[in-house]
Amino acid sequence: MQPALRSGVGRLDRRSVGAQGEAPVALGGRARGGEGVASLSPRGLAAVGSLHYHCSNTTEYQNDILSGVVLRVRRAAEGGVMQVGVGVVFFIFVVLWTGALWWIATRAALTAPYERVSAVVSRLRRWGALIVVVVLGAAFILSLPFLPYPTSRAARLGSPQVTVEVTGRMWAWELSQKTIPRGQTVEFVVRALDVNHGFGIYAPDGRIVTQVQAMPGYTNRLLYRFDEPGTYTIRCLEFCATGHHLMVAEFTVE
């Protein structure tokens, strides 16, 4: 790397030394061929400085991109574990189901004694039922901590430290406070005055983080912990007549 840089300096020197009567400036290092000391005019030095500046900016830009990617992956890992797990399970199920259908289709024209076919089908039914029960039972048990009910979330997030009263009506949200502390478990006590509304909270980057129904005559409790500061947006997720799109509010996490 160093020889290439030195030879490049030598080439800059030959183009810039003596240009328009400018005095060359000596640099430590040798030009191509190892003879003499490489020198640059002020214009050549400016070119080298500009090259160094752009290289530095490029490196910083690449680091910013890498940091952004890492941050998004971390957010996805923190907030989308359940979604990824469900997607993987569904993909495996589709592959297995497609393979079973393909196996059946390729053997549809084959003939076999009834007794043999009946024995195979009986085994498939028994083992298939057992596998379905085991898989669904495991999925149910593993998903219990992720249920949106207050008791499940309290076991995972801890008891609520902040309570926010939320009232939905056509077409606005009313919050008892607009500033929420970061890193503390918040309990939203959600009600509606007229019709059903969908209480959905969106993070500063536009992704939905949690939601619950706001219903007249019933109180829903939603627990969540905000680890990222910024301005969060509340939107109605259930159509509630002509002003549905206007039902937007904001609060700040700091």
For 1, residues 6+ apart whose C-beta sits below 8 A from its C-beta are none
pLDDT at residue 201 tops 80: yes
Count of C-beta atoms within a 10 Å radius of residue 95: 10
* Cis previous bond, 127, omega within 30: no
The pLDDT of residue 200: 95
Q: Which residue has the higher pLDDT, 82 or 215?
A: 215
pLDDT at residue 114 tops 50: yes
> 1 falls in which pLDDT band (50, 70, 90)?
very low
pLDDT at residue 147 tops 90: no
CA 61/CA 107 separation, integer angstroms: 58
> If 0-12 CB within 10 Å is exposed, 13-18 middle and 19+ buried, where does residue 25 land?
middle
**Joined tokens for residue 208:** 């939905």
Q: What is the pLDDT of residues 33-65, one digit of tens each?
A: 444 444 445 555 454 454 444 444 555 545 555
Q: What is the pLDDT of residues 214-253, one digit of tens each?
A: 999 999 999 999 999 999 999 999 999 999 999 999 999 9
CA 38/CA 106 separation, integer angstroms: 77
Give the phi and the psi of residue 44 in degrees, each rounded to 5: -65, -40
pLDDT at residue 107 tops 90: no
Length of the chain counted residue by residue: 254
Give the three-class secondary structure for 76.
helix
Q: What is the pLDDT of residues 116-129, one digit of tens each?
A: 878 888 888 888 89
**Joined tokens for residue 62:** 């690449």
